[in-house]
Amino acid sequence: MSTISPLAPKVSVSLSPLAGVRLASHACGLRYQGRTDLMVAELAPGTTAAGVFTKSLTASAPVLWCREALAGGRGRLIVVNSGNANAFTGSAGVASVRRTVETAAKLLGCKAEEVFISSTGTIGVPLDDAKITQSLSEVLGKLSESGWSDAAKAILTTDTYPKMATRTAKIGGVEVRINGFCKGAGMIAPDMATMLAYVFTDAALPAPVLQALLSKGAETSFNAITVDSDTSTSDTLLAFATGKVSHPEVASVTDPLLRGFKKAFDDLLLDLALQVVKDGEGASKFVKITVTGAASARAAKKIGLAIANSPLVKTAVAGEDANWGRIVMAVGKAGEKADRDRLTIAIGGIDVAQNGQVVPGYDEAPVAAHMKGTDIVFDVDVGIGRGKATVWTCDLTHAYIDINGSYRT
């Protein structure tokens, strides 16, 4: 693991046991030396499952499998390896997934469709799945309720720190827990990275309810962050509810009983997602961009992402340059309605431009001071409607080029 990101959370989180989940990690030697590269999580019988995946049209074999398996809405086992993405590996990759889930299902005594699999690492190199399948029975023998931290470490690639979060909430007065961990540093770096996240709760949630919560929560967390605009072939967010805690039955995602849980769940997803941004490759600054006044929430998000993904905005942030002209440019290129002459931009809470022009008597000094911090805040109102969205990103630095432009060949 390289030097820890300067944006890493100052306090490290530890996850308490969660009824119905046991974890183990192992070193299979797929690529790395002297570290674990296999994580297995066993889920109690009856656990429901939900997932959100990459929109890439060249999705990896494990992603295709998870989508298929999810139709059953049940999960008994998660198997994740780092070091090899099993992406762009053709029919060999599909066969590799099939062998792994079938071996795992046999060992655990469950259906293949209850085994979820993720792979992260190099693209285009056939995965030596024998290293995984031959380790599985040993790994299953090591399952433990306290394996969270080791599990979170085993799935890392270019990450500089493990990413964990935990919350509690009440459903009908009964306390339930949510644990989650994830990995990701570039949106993708085919040599190494991708975004994977696993969320667990001991609440009893029907699969369609869990799926609705996850799909909605992902929109304002994992789908509202960007490091470099690049989309992985393997991005995977899975959620599981073991139902080990007895609470009043939840009928639907709109059930008022779920209100507190939903808030905690969304909060945990955002916590994990922001940990990914803060470990963005080469990141030295964390940027929060809120767009208001757009035609719709979707338009606001598109404008926000255009700002967040602009190399010129990102290099200006790296250079601590309060270059609001580049924000104007990015708003313009987003392709969503904006009123050039009603555009308002604030940096660090200080108005910079209003009604399409620089504010009268603009004093750049306090704005420049804000840009020297590590937490940068842009607020943009595009003056059209009531659509609002927040997205998060990091800056584009020399270190990003060092990490991604290094000689692989």
Please say which residue, 1 or 92, places its beta carbon nearer to its own copies.
92
Which member of 48, 120, 194, 397 is catalytic? 194
Q: Are 43 and 105 in contact (CB under 8 A)?
A: no
Short-list 203, 292, 282, CA closest to 246: 203
List, edge to edge, every strand of the sheet that includes 387-394: 225-226, 387-394, 286-294, 375-381, 344-347, 350-354, 357-358
Closer residue to its own copies, CB minimum distance, 264 or 371: 371
Q: Which among 181, 160, 139 is positioned nearest to 15, based on CA atoms?
A: 181
Whole-number minimum distance, CB 291 to its own copies, in Å?
A: 14
What would the 3-class secondary structure string for 50-64 be?
EEEECCCCCCCHHHH
- Cα atoms in the 13 Å half-sphere on the side-chain side of 257: 18
Locate tokens 């192992």: which residue?
A: 26
Helix (H) or strand (E) holding 150, with range, is helix 148-154
d(CA 162, CA 279): 10
- Shortest spacing between CB 121 and its own copies, in angstroms: 10
Q: How far apart are CA 360 and CA 308, in angstroms?
A: 27
Contact predicate 278/9, CB 8 Å = yes
Q: Of 159 and 271, which CB lies nearer to its own copies in the complex structure? A: 159
Which is closer to its own copies, CB of 141 or CB of 407? 407
Rounded least distance, CB 187 to its own copies, Å: 8
In the complex, least distance from residue 141 CB atom to its own copies, rounded to whole angstroms: 35
Whether 390 is a known active-site residue: answer no
CB of 119 to its own copies, least distance (A): 13
Give the active site residues: 194
